[in-house]
Amino acid sequence: MKNKIAAALYLAVATIFLAGAALAATCIDGGCHKYQVSYKFLHGPLAAEELGAGGCVSCHVPKGAPCTKKDAGIFEYADKKSDLCTYCHNKSTSTTHLDHNDDCLSCHSPHGSNKDGKMLNK
């Protein structure tokens, strides 16, 4: 019985430690982009990044050396900037979105919003 309790306690501590280690390797750690998760409503990829799932690479592709606490990494967009939103989001025909061509960022924040889940920045 004592061995089972000790094993369970060890697994619990190891799980917490490993989860912490996994979360330490994200774009928002180290202070560089931590402000990005301060929004009340997070864009899905950023929420995934906060959980350690690598959501930032949905739009930002690492090129060259990774980020460190001292040096920023080099990144490129995963697609043309104007096509990033429509890669995951369809333009709805029942809204005014078709009138705005491909300029999603004129109204929406790509990372999050404190206003609502539509990521409006206006």
Strands 112-113 and 60-62: unpaired
Displacement of CA 76 from its chain's centroid (Å): 15
Asked if 71 contacts 30 with a C-beta cutoff of 8 angstroms, the reply is: no
Nearest by Cα to 55 from 69, 43, 63, 64: 43
Strands 75-77 and 112-113: unpaired
Residue ranges of domains in the chain: 2-113
pLDDT of residue 112: 92
Which regions of the chain are under pLDDT 50? Answer: 6-9, 11-24
Strands 60-62 and 75-77: antiparallel
pLDDT of residue 17: 42
Q: pTM for the complete prediction?
A: 0.65
